[in-house]
Every structure is written in C-alpha cells, then in structure tokens.
Chain A
Amino acid sequence: MIIRVEYLSKVYRMGKVEVPALRDVNLEIEEGEFLAIMGPSGSGKSTLLNIIGCLDKPTGGRVFIDGANTASLSENELAEVRRDKVGFVFQQFNLIHSLNALENVSLPMFFAGVSRGERLKRAEELLAKVGLRERMHHKPLELSGGQQQRVAIARALANNPKIVIGDEPTGNVDTEAGNVIMGILGDLNREGKTIIVVTHDPVIAAHAKRVIRMRDGRLLDEE
C-alpha cells in the first residue's frame, strides 16, 4: 500500500465561518493503481489531492505516504516528499514562464541537487517521452495548452516519483489534447507508477482502473 488516508478532515476558516472541506475520509491506494476521484465542485476532491500531495495540511486525521506519516514530517521533509515521491500536475499547468520547457522540467532536479549535465540529459529524455523533443527550447507561452500540460507531466516525472497526481489535468485543454494526456498517464501507470486523477468528466475517469466519488467532503461508495 503506497498511500493510506485515515479519518482525514479539513476545515477552512473564512473569516469567522468554518467551512468543512473534508469529513472523516478513509482511503487506501495500492502501488500501481490508476485512481480517478470524481465529484461536483466543492465536494473536497481537490483538497484531498492537495493533502495527499503534501501541498496542504490536514486539520485532523493522518496520511501515510510510502509508509511515512506526513503529520510528523518537518517542512523540509514535506518539501522532499513533494520533490522526490509525488509528481503534481495542475489544471493551470503552472509552468514558470521565464524558463523554457527544458529548464522547467529540470527545475525539480535542480532543487534535488542533481548536476547540470545529468539534469538536462534527463529533462531531454522526459520531453522526448511526452512527444516534445522538437519543442524543448520553447517558452511555455509559445506552446499550446496540451503541449504545456505535457511539459508539466515531464516536470512531475523529473525526480522519478512513485506517485503522479493530476488535479483536473485535462480541464484546460481540448478533447484531443486531453486524450493525449490521459494516454500518457495510462502509459505511466503501465510502467508501474501510481496515478491519482481528479476530474468531473466521466470520459476521462474511464481511463482509470478504479473510480471513487465524493460529495460534501465525504467519500461515497465505490462503483
């Protein structure tokens, strides 16, 4: 089991009002799974994903990633988890506009202290893998949405993480590009990576082997 979520709760404070985003979520994900989390907006699926990806901290409950309890990790250790164990793909791509594709992909390796030569070599391989060998030296804004998202996937793979997380990875691209992206994620899954994707599009969710649904911060029964 690569991820275990126990009694997870998250409460957002909006001024004086407390808004519960997650209520007692329990979830187990095995290594090599391809999981889709579905649900309407505001159901808490992104919050769950952010906590699993160590971007956000829970209000209550525990999350184990690859055996480590994230609640007991320091900020630096959490950064290392984000850097080495989890690759995050955002809906908005979130590439750094001043850097070209190659540099964007090598950035996580830069933070991991990989030498420049090795970094660029691996970044090149990863870009080739997502079909962007010809566009390595383009800046994000010179690429289409689908291409940007593929750069983002290559970046998520930089430090060879076991888990790749996508928060609506196809939400900002057209259907065709979305299919390409889901195809890549499927390939990664076949190579052994654990893939977790949040979506509200059933067609996208159909790529996954397991689908769970959320509503009002709770997990509904699995299909």
Chain B
Amino acid sequence: MIDIILMAYRDLSERKARTILTLLGIAVGIAAIVSLVSVGYGMQEAITGELTVFADLISVMPGKLAGMSYVELGSFTDRDIRDIRRIGGIKEVTAMTHGAAEVEYRNERKPVFVLGGDTDALSSFYVEPVGLDEGRWLRENDYRVCVIGNRVATEFFDEPVHVNDKLRINGEKFIVAGVFKKASMLYAMDVDPHIFLTLRAAKDVLGNEKAKYKYITVRVYNIEEVDEIADELEERINDNHGLDEFATAMTMGSMLERISSVFSILRGVLVGIAAIALVVASIGIMNTMLMAVMERTHEIGVMKAIGAKNSDVLSLFLLESCMVSLIGGVAGCILGVILARVVSLVVSSALGMEFVPTVKVGVLFAGVGVAMCVGVLSGFYPARKASKMSPVEAVRYG
C-alpha cells in the first residue's frame, strides 16, 4: 500500500505544475464553501449572542410582520398600557412613541425620526450598548432637551451638531444634551439617524397628545414565561382595538427563529455558489487525469506488458486523483479558515459589528469528504480508460 502511494506521489510530482493547478482548483472550491459557511455561522452567532441578552424582553408593535416587512396598523393607547400592567409576571412596561419631525439647525431643515420614551428604559436599550460620544443622557425631568444619534450630529446637516447647540424640532427649541457614539451594525438603524426625547416632549412635538404609543417594551420576571405572556399581551390589545391581528408581540425567541431562518437561506445560497466552483474544479481534475492517461499511454502499456492487471492500473490512477483531492481538500479547509478570518475582519470593520467566524468541525470534515468524492468520481472515468488499454497498442504509442 505504501508503495503504491509512493508511486502515485512520484507520478504526480513528475507533473508538478499541472498537479498544483488541479489541487488549487479543488482547494479554492472547498475554501469557498468552508469560509462562506463559517462566516455565515459566525455572523449568526454574533447576532444571536447579542440578542440573547434580551431574553426577558418582549417588544410590542401596533402592526403586522409579514416576512421581512412591517405594516403599521395604528398606535397603542393609555388603556393598552394599563391593561398590560395588569398581566401577572411583568417587571416593567415602557411605552415609546416615535414619528418623523422637521428639524432645523442653523437655518437648515431636514426630516428626522424622533423617538421618545421612558428615559431609564431607553438608557438600558441604547445608551448602555452604544455609549455617548459627548454630553449626557436625558433625565426624566428634562423638557426641551434632546440626545442625538451619531449620523444626526455628523451627516445630516452641513455643520456638525455638538452638545449645547440648539435645534428646532417641529418649531420647538431644544438643546442638545448628548451625542451618541457611532453604533454597531445591530444598533445602527435604531440609534444613528434618530433624535431621542423624553416621552412628554416627544408627545408634544409629534402632536400625539392623546397618549398614542408606537412601541411598547415589556420585561418579565421569569424568562420561561416570556412566550406565554407575549400571547396574552397580544390578545388583550387586540380585544381593546377590536381587531384579530392588531398587535405583534415579539420575544427574542421568535426573533432568533426569524434570524436563523434568514441565515439558513443565506447559507444555502453561499453553498450553492461554492458548489458551482467545485463542479468546475472536478472538471479540472477529470481533465488532468485524462491528460495524464494520454500522456502515459506508453507507460501504462509497459506496466501491463510486465504483468499489471487492469485493477492495478485502475487503482494507481484512482489513488492519484484521490491524493490530489485529499491534499486539495485539506488545503482548501486551511485556506477556507484563513479566508473566513479575513472576510470577517473586513465585514466587521465595514459593518461596525465585531464577530469571528465559527468554524465547525463538521464543516471541515464535509469539505474534505466532498473533495474526495469529487476526486474519485472525476478520476474514475480516466482511470478506467487507462486500465482498459491494450498492452501492445499502448506500448507502441509514443
């Protein structure tokens, strides 16, 4: 066995350039699969990891989620909030309101999304994970005071906005008390382009005097009860509004499910792309092996003339393609892990979200396995062709 491996190795090293190119073909295909899948898992874990911190949280929205899109059906009332507070097992309820407002800064006007709510709750949702770049956070007794997202401060207006600058929101004067840091990917959409106010001030400027809320968050005491409470919540609010599907209460569990289904689709697409790369690589192996057979017709004839059986020739050539694909597969896995790290670094810095690729051992084994299958399958036809040659004709060749 060792001898036949040595012999196959020698044959391969006689044709270094072509062997290396074939090897590269497989390695790139496997590297593509391994890296894409690992990056996919890594992203998913990073996101779900951040989300599980909020396992005791229920987000309630007045609208429906259909696939990836959200349709707002109205807003919550004070009565909804009172009813929610009556449900057992709830630690705290925070109501928020939001809406678009016209914001003026140094004679420049822009529409900006304004968000108001309980200052402590907003602080735990946004200030703790994102952090402030300058100034301070809102206090409950603040009135004409706001904190602005990083893009509001740096991008929205010609001149940057700083602490103690004055803004007009729907005509009302506000003083900027603080500016957020630039948020990571997970928070970028929620924080960067928004202005944060106290609930009172937000209701005033948005004209929602009748206490209409656009977003309610609920924290529960016991994480195990979270789904149960979410269902009850939806039911009570739907009753209040006389609609079947008015409110959507999302727990992190349902959010995680949603995210993982999105990621499994994403992974499928990535694996599909990589599979195409592999098919190309396997055509490459077949070509290499066919060329090797043709080139070595004479040698095969000699081997058969001195007593090699068809099966001897077949196994020699199959072993060669196996070795190419095994080495290619292992190299592909190593390359894939490196590639996954590089991609993660690039994507992390581009999205502002820290994550490392998750390399699953199963994925590595599958990578090598796929490479071997590709090698054996694409090596079989040329190997068989080689073994079937007539010795006298093959010897005469070349």
Partner-B contacts on A (CB < 8 A)? 50, 53, 55-56, 75-76, 79-80, 82-84, 88, 90, 94-96, 98-99, 107-108, 110-112, 116, 155-156, 158-159
A selection of 18 A-B contacts at a CB cut-off of 8 Å is A55-B305, A55-B392, A56-B391, A75-B309, A76-B309, A76-B310, A79-B307, A79-B310, A84-B307, A90-B395, A96-B302, A98-B10, A98-B11, A98-B14, A110-B4, A111-B306, A111-B307, A111-B312
Most chain-A CB neighbours within 10 Å: which of B2, B4, B10, B391?
Answer: B391
Partner-A contacts on B (CB < 8 A)? 2-4, 7, 10-11, 14, 298-299, 302-312, 390-392, 395
Complex CA–CA separation, A116 to B7 (angstroms):
13
* Residues A88 and B306 in contact in the complex (CB < 8 Å), given A55-B392, A56-B392, A96-B299: yes
- Nearest Cβ distance between residue B129 and chain A, in whole angstroms? 64
Complex CA–CA separation, A55 to B299 (angstroms):
14
13 more A-B residue pairs beyond the given contacts A80-B309, A107-B303, with a C-beta to C-beta distance below 8 A: A56-B392, A75-B309, A83-B306, A83-B308, A88-B306, A90-B305, A94-B305, A96-B299, A96-B302, A98-B14, A108-B307, A111-B303, A116-B3
- Nearest Cβ distance between residue A3 and chain B, in whole angstroms? 18
Which chain A residue has the least Cβ–Cβ distance from B394? A55
Complex CA–CA separation, A84 to B307 (angstroms):
7
Query: Which applies to chain B's interface (DSSP): helix, strand, loop or mixed?
Result: helix
Complex CA–CA separation, A57 to B299 (angstroms):
20
A76 surroundings in chain B (CB, below 8 A): 309-311
Contact B305 A82 (CB under 8 A): yes
A55 is contacted by which of B4, B7, B312, B395 (Cβ under 8 Å)?
A: B395
Complex CA–CA separation, A169 to B279 (angstroms):
48
B391 surroundings in chain A (CB, below 8 A): 55-56, 82
A108 is contacted by which of B7, B299, B306, B392 (Cβ under 8 Å)?
A: B306
A50 surroundings in chain B (CB, below 8 A): 392
- Nearest Cβ distance between residue A75 and chain B, in whole angstroms? 6
Most chain-A CB neighbours within 10 Å: which of B298, B307, B312, B390?
Answer: B307
Complex CA–CA separation, A94 to B392 (angstroms):
12
* Residues A79 and B395 in contact in the complex (CB < 8 Å), given A99-B10, A107-B303: no
- Nearest Cβ distance between residue B90 and chain A, in whole angstroms? 78
B307 is contacted by which of A95, A96, A98, A159 (Cβ under 8 Å)?
A: A159
B10 surroundings in chain A (CB, below 8 A): 98-99
* Residues A88 and B305 in contact in the complex (CB < 8 Å), given A96-B299, A98-B14, A116-B3: yes
Contact B307 A155 (CB under 8 A): no
Which chain A residue has the least Cβ–Cβ distance from B310? A75
B11 surroundings in chain A (CB, below 8 A): 98
Contact A107 B306 (CB under 8 A): yes
Interface pairs A-B: 6 shortest CB-CB:
A83-B307, A55-B392, A79-B309, A56-B392, A94-B302, A108-B306
